[in-house]
A and B are shown apart, each in its own frame.
Chain A
Amino acid sequence: MSVVEEHHLFEPMIVAFCCNWCSYAGADLAGTGRMSYPANVRIVRVPCSSRVSPNFILRAFQRGADAVVVAGCHPGDCHYVSGNYHARRRFSALRRFLEFVGIETERFEIHWISASEGNKFAAIMKDVTDKIRVLGPNRKLRDVR
Chain B
Amino acid sequence: MRRIGVFVCWCGTNIGATVDLETVMEKARQMPGVVFAGDNKYMCSEIGQTLIRDTIVQERLDRVVVASCSPRMHELTFRKTAAAAGLNPYLVEIANIREHCSWVHKDKAEATQKAISLVRTAVAKAARNKPLQADQFAVTHRALVIGAGIAGIQAALDIGETGFEVDLVERTPSIGGRMAQLDKTFPTLDCSACILTPKMVDVAVHPKINLYTYSEIEAVEGYVGNFEVTLRQKARSIDKEKCTGCGICYEKCPSKVDGEFEEGMSKRKAIYVPFPQAVPNVPVIDRENCRWFTKEKCGVCKKVCPADAVDFEQSDQLIKQKYGAIVVATGFDLVDLDEFGEFGYGKHPDIITSMEFERLVNASGPTGGKLLRPSNQEPPRNVVFIHCVGSRDKSRGKPYCSKICCMYTAKHAILLKEKYPKSQAYVFYIDVRTAGKEFEEFHRRAVEEYGAAYLRGIVGKVFPSGDKLLVNGVDTLSNQTVELEADLVVLATAITPRRDAAALGRMLGIGTDGHNYFVEAHPKLRPVESHTAGIFLAGTCQGPRDIPETVAQAGGAAAKAIALLSKETLLSDPCVSNVNESLCTGCLACLPVCPYKAISEKTITEKVHGQERRRLVAEINNALCQGCGACSTACRPGAMNLLGFTNEQLLAEVDAICL
Residues of A near any B CB (own CB < 8 A): 13, 15, 20-22, 24-25, 27-28, 30-32, 34-37, 39, 42-48, 50-53, 55-56, 59-60, 63-65, 73, 76-77, 79-83, 86, 90, 114-116, 122
Q: Is the CB of B655 within 8 A of A80?
A: no
Q: Is the CB of A53 within 8 A of B658?
A: no
| A116: B residues at CB distance < 8 A | 513-514, 519
Residues of B near any A CB (own CB < 8 A): 70-73, 96, 98-101, 103-107, 110-111, 113-114, 117-118, 121, 502, 506, 509, 511-514, 519, 531-532, 575, 593, 595-596, 626-630, 632-634, 642, 645, 647, 650-651, 653-655, 657-659
Q: Which 5 A-B pairs have the closest CB atoms?
A: A31-B99, A51-B629, A63-B658, A50-B630, A80-B628
| A82: B residues at CB distance < 8 A | 593, 595
CB contact between A30 and one of B104, B502, B575 (< 8 Å): that residue: B104
| A56: B residues at CB distance < 8 A | 650-651, 654
Given known A-B contacts A47-B629, A65-B658, A39 and B650 have beta carbons under 8 A apart: no
A57 and B114 alpha carbons, distance in the complex (Å): 20
Q: Is the CB of A50 within 8 A of B628?
A: yes
A25 and B511 alpha carbons, distance in the complex (Å): 13
Give the Cβ gap from B32 to chain A, nearest Cβ, in Å. 16
A44 and B118 alpha carbons, distance in the complex (Å): 9
A53 and B642 alpha carbons, distance in the complex (Å): 12
Q: Is the CB of A86 within 8 A of B593?
A: yes
Q: Is the CB of A24 within 8 A of B630?
A: no
Q: Is the CB of A43 within 8 A of B114?
A: no
A35 and B104 alpha carbons, distance in the complex (Å): 6
Q: Is the CB of B71 within 8 A of A45?
A: yes
Give the Cβ gap from B628 to chain A, nearest Cβ, in Å. 4
| B113: A residues at CB distance < 8 A | 39
Give the Cβ gap from B509 to chain A, nearest Cβ, in Å. 6
A139 and B595 alpha carbons, distance in the complex (Å): 38
B114 to chain A: closest residue by CB? A39
Give the Cβ gap from A91 to chain B, nearest Cβ, in Å. 11
Give the Cβ gap from A52 to chain B, nearest Cβ, in Å. 7
B512 to chain A: closest residue by CB? A77
Q: Is the CB of B642 within 8 A of A47?
A: yes
Q: Is the CB of A15 within 8 A of B632?
A: no
Question: Can you list 28 contacts pairing A with B, beta carbon distance less than 8 Å?
Answer: A13-B658, A27-B100, A34-B104, A35-B104, A36-B106, A39-B110, A39-B113, A43-B96, A44-B121, A44-B650, A44-B657, A46-B650, A47-B628, A48-B629, A50-B633, A51-B630, A53-B650, A56-B651, A60-B657, A63-B659, A73-B511, A76-B506, A80-B509, A81-B506, A83-B628, A114-B513, A115-B511, A116-B514
Q: Is the CB of A50 within 8 A of B654?
A: no
Given known A-B contacts A46-B650, A51-B633, A52-B633, A79 and B531 have beta carbons under 8 A apart: yes
Q: Is the CB of A36 within 8 A of B531?
A: no
Number of residue pairs A-B, CB distance < 8 angstroms: 146
Q: Is the CB of B575 within 8 A of A47?
A: yes
| A37: B residues at CB distance < 8 A | 104
A77 and B516 alpha carbons, distance in the complex (Å): 11
Q: Is the CB of B105 within 8 A of A36?
A: yes
| B519: A residues at CB distance < 8 A | 115-116
Given known A-B contacts A15-B658, A79-B509, A116-B514, A43 and B72 have beta carbons under 8 A apart: no
Q: Is the CB of B653 within 8 A of A80?
A: no
Give the Cβ gap from A123 to chain B, nearest Cβ, in Å. 12
| A32: B residues at CB distance < 8 A | 99, 103
Give the Cβ gap from A141 to chain B, nearest Cβ, in Å. 12
| B532: A residues at CB distance < 8 A | 79
Q: Is the CB of A59 within 8 A of B651?
A: yes
Q: Is the CB of B628 within 8 A of A53?
A: no
Given known A-B contacts A35-B104, A39-B113, A122-B104, A47 and B72 have beta carbons under 8 A apart: no
Given known A-B contacts A39-B111, A77-B511, A79-B511, A53 and B632 have beta carbons under 8 A apart: yes
| A36: B residues at CB distance < 8 A | 104-106
A63 and B659 alpha carbons, distance in the complex (Å): 7
Q: Is the CB of A55 within 8 A of B575?
A: no
A46 and B653 alpha carbons, distance in the complex (Å): 11
A48 and B651 alpha carbons, distance in the complex (Å): 16
Given known A-B contacts A13-B658, A42-B118, A63-B655, A51 and B642 have beta carbons under 8 A apart: yes
| B628: A residues at CB distance < 8 A | 47-48, 50-51, 79-80, 83
| A86: B residues at CB distance < 8 A | 593, 630, 633-634
A47 and B628 alpha carbons, distance in the complex (Å): 6
Given known A-B contacts A32-B99, A42-B118, A60 and B654 have beta carbons under 8 A apart: yes
A28 and B71 alpha carbons, distance in the complex (Å): 10
Given known A-B contacts A27-B100, A81-B506, A47 and B645 have beta carbons under 8 A apart: yes
| A50: B residues at CB distance < 8 A | 593, 628-630, 633
Give the Cβ gap from A34 to chain B, nearest Cβ, in Å. 6
| A47: B residues at CB distance < 8 A | 575, 627-629, 642, 645
B117 to chain A: closest residue by CB? A42
Q: Is the CB of B647 within 8 A of A55?
A: yes
| A79: B residues at CB distance < 8 A | 509, 511, 531-532, 628
A59 and B654 alpha carbons, distance in the complex (Å): 7
B71 to chain A: closest residue by CB? A45
Q: Is the CB of A31 within 8 A of B104?
A: yes
Q: Is the CB of B630 within 8 A of A83?
A: yes
A44 and B628 alpha carbons, distance in the complex (Å): 15
Given known A-B contacts A15-B657, A86-B630, A76 and B502 have beta carbons under 8 A apart: yes
A44 and B654 alpha carbons, distance in the complex (Å): 8
Give the Cβ gap from A124 to chain B, nearest Cβ, in Å. 13
CB contact between A80 and one of B71, B101, B630 (< 8 Å): that residue: B630
| B114: A residues at CB distance < 8 A | 39, 42
Known contacts A43-B100, A86-B633, A114-B513, then 13 further A-B pairs from the complex at CB < 8 Å, ordered by chain A residue: A28-B70, A30-B99, A31-B103, A34-B104, A35-B104, A36-B106, A39-B111, A48-B629, A50-B629, A52-B633, A63-B658, A82-B593, A86-B630
| A83: B residues at CB distance < 8 A | 595, 628, 630
| B72: A residues at CB distance < 8 A | 20, 24-25, 28
Give the Cβ gap from B83 to chain A, nearest Cβ, in Å. 21
| B98: A residues at CB distance < 8 A | 31
| A27: B residues at CB distance < 8 A | 99-100
| B106: A residues at CB distance < 8 A | 36
B635 to chain A: closest residue by CB? A53
Give the Cβ gap from B62 to chain A, nearest Cβ, in Å. 22
Q: Is the CB of A21 within 8 A of B531?
A: yes
A76 and B512 alpha carbons, distance in the complex (Å): 10
A73 and B511 alpha carbons, distance in the complex (Å): 10
Give the Cβ gap from A3 to chain B, nearest Cβ, in Å. 24
A90 and B98 alpha carbons, distance in the complex (Å): 32
A80 to chain B: closest residue by CB? B628
| A51: B residues at CB distance < 8 A | 628-630, 632-633, 642, 645, 650
Give the Cβ gap from A71 to chain B, nearest Cβ, in Å. 13
Residue with the highest number of chain A CB atoms closer than 10 Å, among B106, B113, B511, B659: B511
| A35: B residues at CB distance < 8 A | 104
